[in-house]
Structure 1
Amino acid sequence: MRRKTRVAPGWCYLVLLFGCAAAAHPVRGQTPEPLRLVTPEGHTGSVTSAGFSHDGRWVVTASKDRTARVWEVATGREVMLLRGHTKGVTAAAFSPDDQWVVTASLDDTARVWDVTGHTAAVNAAAFSPDGHQVVTASNDGTARVWEPATGREVAAFRGHKGPVNSAAFSPDGRRVVTAGNDSTARVWDVATRGSAGGASAVIREHDPVNSAAFSPNGRWVATVSGKIAQVWNVAMRRQVVVFRRHAGLVTSVAFSPDGRRVVTASYDSTARVWVAATGQQVIRSLRGHAHSVLSASFSPDGRKVVTASGDQTARVWEAATGGTLALLGGHTNRVTSAALSPDGRWGVTANGDKTARVWDNAGHEVAVLPGHTDCALSAAFSPDGEKVVTVSVDNTARVWQVTTGREVA
């Protein structure tokens, strides 16, 4: 599931070196000097091999640091980290269709890797209701479904004409709804694996859709676009209700567990709770953040709301009154996402400081999840509350054990 990106000015010299290595004499006009390996930024050991993909778009490198990495030729970006060998990697090469990379290692194994995943920042991730799959949304214009136990990609949904901002499963796990910068939300059938005729339903807005979510009964989809949120009848592609009181861009939307309420977050530094059927605001607003509110969601019992903000904090609120119950501070950058575990014992935040953090229900930090190399954009719990999935601008999704903070996929 890992798809990493980093500017790597050194890699181009490495490829040129291997391209010229067979020449008996230096290129005309070149000063003779010993050939040397220039390690791309990202590898921490000597590079042992490099090779182009058959379409010329990618380069794969192998290294004594026990990893192989895939790089984009046009930009020099590292787009994939292949990690799993226990000793140095001695060789790496693409398959004829460029769908796979094979690596050989001093650990006496060869491995085959699926390299068809995301090639740009991953904006959101969510577990399926049974916890057996994860869906991710990316700036590469796709949403993808993965098996977190193996990291294997099982479906890719293509159709958005631009970045995909969010993705979420339906309550029965059979569908996925995505929100895109192309001013559409799309509903996909998971069973088709993205191979059969595109989305089963397309909801068209006038502005980019920042977030979309299913209702608990699976009949409705809530979307946010511009300064408004809307609820739609999926089967009819018909607007049911509109929520219109935010003074800034609306960033996220979520249903309460019983489907009777909706919570929205906005650049106007507030979150608001609404009656899903009528669009009436339940309470005036959740006020207290000093900067944009980037996400908002209900607790599993519907009695609390958790918000994340650009003011470097997350807050837990009483949904009925708007009172603040806990302030989650200590972050050193904006908090991009916040969620509560299914049993209500834990909270998780994703942060611009490249980490996610786990909190207890008293607001005490209990674990820091390091590893991303760029801003973490989203974090969500598995249905059993034992794992967290995080996504990042570094093109990766990672799965962590909550109680230990150990990365497991």
Structure 2
Amino acid sequence: MDSTVLIGIIVTLALLVVAFFTYRANSTSNDDKPIEPVKKEAPKAKENKKKEEKKEVPHKKITKEDTPLRVGAFKGHTGTVTSHAVSSDGKYAATSSEDRTIKIWEIKTLKESDIKSIHIPIPYDHATAICFTADSRHLLVVLKEAEQVVAFKILPKKDDKGKQYQEAHRFPLDKSHAGDVKQIAASTNSKFVVTMSDDTKFNVWTIKGALLHTVDTSSVKNNKFLITPDSRFIAVATWSSEVKLWEVLYDKEGNFKEVKKTMELFGHSSTIHSISVSADATKIATCSKDHSWKVYNINVKNNSPNIIFAHQGEKEGGYDHVGLSEDARTVATTQGNLLTFFRHNPGNNTVDSLDTVTLLNTPLGLEWNEDQLFVYFNQGITVFSNPNPGTKKKGKK
């Protein structure tokens, strides 16, 4: 091999060796240096403010351990609950279901390990609406397929067949409604019964089933109705943004004569979902899709009701249900699965939010019984105590 070529090869190898060790030395030097943390730019104050506004306060869940307001529950249905009722004497709570049963619970046994109840099967049919009569001795039941109203008498104890109820009478609805009857209610003076479906009419009957009067509300759809505790008014919440009231007129003997439209409750800007009434029949609460609830004074002259107090909510979706306590000092509402209690302060006419509970399921309705709120679900009832307890309804034990 030529000496010149050999020298060239040796020089090239030497240069490669020098380059390799120089690279290793630089790498080791860089590894020994501490790694400086990457500096992040501080978020802008405006962005921080937005994040704080979106942050929500966690709500309590319905569990016996962490919700002091929860008193107990009545459970047992396997199908969707279609209707509910509490007897006027505060003794019973009842629910009907698509599972073809009706359950009547004794309220006083709520906290006992063995809750007492009356089980009424409805073979080949189911109830769409129920209510107690004024004397709390009968439960009126609307049957979907049979299109009849059945009155079940509640017995003080089980008979020789093991039943604590018996059929007292029944009457046909005679196609008087265009759709399924969603509500039934009996007046406290036992003079009449009202039924209502999703159409635009409601019917007035005698307890035995004679049709007394039919009223067209002239609305697209009827949502809810109630009979005031003094049996004076029938109030209907419709698809429109007002509640319409009909006054019940009686003859000289005190029997039902007719109903006459007497006043309307204005103030909402959208559909009214639910209504409730105070025990003294002077105040009506409403809740609407417009994210608000209101309480009206209907004990007025010249049929000019006025709003006593109200609340405008911030959560989208509107209020689904409203319950006005018997003394009208507490308002309970639901929005989805949120149950909120509000307190009215008459002195300065302000409204405070007392407690909000995140329910495990979306409720189907609310009903007060003295200082307890009955919240109805698909499988039964959960009972809460009033965080703003007041006076008890006269006549209740």
Question: Hey, what does 2:292 align to over in structure 1?
Answer: 313
Question: Hey, what does 2:79 align to over in structure 1?
Answer: 120
Letter in 2 for 1:399: V
Letter in 1 for 2:381: A
Identical counterparts, % of pairs: 19
Kept in 2: contact 1:357–1:369 (CA 8 A): yes
| Secondary structure, aligned partner of 2:328 | coil
Letter in 1 for 2:337: K
Kept in 2: contact 1:352–1:377 (CA 8 A): no
Among 234, 243, 248, the residue aligned to 2:207: 234
- Which aligned pairs between 1:339-358 and structure 2 lie closer than 5 A? 339-349=323-333, 351-358=334-341
Among 319, 322, 334, the residue aligned to 2:305: 322
Question: Hey, what does 1:302 align to over in structure 2?
Answer: 281
| Secondary structure, aligned partner of 2:237 | strand
| Secondary structure, aligned partner of 1:243 | strand
Letter in 2 for 1:356: L
What whole-Å deviation, never above 9, does each CA across 1:208-262 have from its counterpart, x for those lacking one? Answer: 1111111011231111122111211012x11112221331221222212221211
Among 89, 94, 99, the residue aligned to 1:135: 94
- Which aligned pairs between 1:14-93 and structure 2 lie closer than 5 A? none
1:331 deviates by: 6.6
Question: Hey, what does 2:382 align to over in structure 1?
Answer: 398
In 1, Cα distance between equivalents of 2:314 and 2:377: 16
Kept in 2: contact 1:121–1:396 (CA 8 A): no
C-alpha RMSD of the superposition: 3.2
Letter in 2 for 1:156: H
What whole-Å deviation, never above 9, does each CA across 1:113-154 have from its counterpart, x for those lacking one? Answer: xx9821123344333223232112334343321123434252
Question: Hey, what does 1:268 align to over in structure 2?
Answer: 240
Aligned residues: 289
Unmatched 5+ stretches in structure 1: 1-82, 86-114
Question: Hey, what does 1:78 align to over in structure 2?
Answer: none
Kindly tell me: are residues 323 and 129 of structure 1, through their superposed partners in 2, closer, same or farther at Cα, counting changes over 3 Å?
Answer: same
Among 359, 363, 377, the residue aligned to 1:376: 363
Kindly tell me: are residues 202 and 360 of structure 1, through their superposed partners in 2, closer, same or farther at Cα, counting changes over 3 Å?
Answer: farther
Structure with greater proportional helix content: 2
Q: Comparing 183-192 with 200-209, which one deviates more in the overlay?
A: 183-192
Kindly tell me: are residues 248 and 159 of structure 1, through their superposed partners in 2, closer, same or farther at Cα, counting changes over 3 Å?
Answer: farther
In 2, Cα distance between equivalents of 1:327 and 1:247: 25
1:198 deviates by: 4.7
1:304 deviates by: 1.7
Among 181, 206, 219, the residue aligned to 1:247: 219
Question: Hey, what does 1:364 align to over in structure 2?
Answer: 351
Asked if residue 154 in structure 1 is aligned to residue 117 in structure 2, the reply is yes
1:317 deviates by: 1.7
Kept in 2: contact 1:314–1:328 (CA 8 A): yes
In 2, Cα distance between equivalents of 1:173 and 1:355: 31
1:402 deviates by: 0.7
Question: Hey, what does 2:319 align to over in structure 1?
Answer: 335
Kindly tell me: are residues 297 and 400 of structure 1, through their superposed partners in 2, closer, same or farther at Cα, counting changes over 3 Å?
Answer: closer
1:263 deviates by: 0.7
| Secondary structure, aligned partner of 2:260 | coil
Question: Hey, what does 1:281 align to over in structure 2?
Answer: 261
Kindly tell me: are residues 197 and 187 of structure 1, through their superposed partners in 2, closer, same or farther at Cα, counting changes over 3 Å?
Answer: closer
TM-score using structure 1 length: 0.62
Kept in 2: contact 1:123–1:391 (CA 8 A): no
| Secondary structure, aligned partner of 2:259 | coil
Among 187, 197, 203, the residue aligned to 2:151: 187
Letter in 2 for 1:346: T
Q: Comparing 368-377 with 252-261, which one deviates more in the overlay?
A: 368-377
Among 211, 214, 219, the residue aligned to 2:183: 211
Kindly tell me: are residues 249 and 139 of structure 1, through their superposed partners in 2, closer, same or farther at Cα, counting changes over 3 Å?
Answer: farther
In 2, Cα distance between equivalents of 1:310 and 1:140: 31
Kindly tell me: are residues 217 and 389 of structure 1, through their superposed partners in 2, closer, same or farther at Cα, counting changes over 3 Å?
Answer: same
If you compute each CA radius of gyration, which structure gives the higher value, 1 or 2? 2
Asked if residue 173 in structure 1 is aligned to residue 136 in structure 2, the reply is yes
Kept in 2: contact 1:352–1:374 (CA 8 A): no
Among 178, 187, 193, the residue aligned to 1:221: 193
Q: Comparing 308-317 with 220-229, which one deviates more in the overlay?
A: 308-317
Question: Hey, what does 1:201 align to over in structure 2?
Answer: 170
TM-score using structure 2 length: 0.63
Kept in 2: contact 1:355–1:376 (CA 8 A): no
Kept in 2: contact 1:122–1:397 (CA 8 A): no
Kindly tell me: are residues 179 and 252 of structure 1, through their superposed partners in 2, closer, same or farther at Cα, counting changes over 3 Å?
Answer: farther
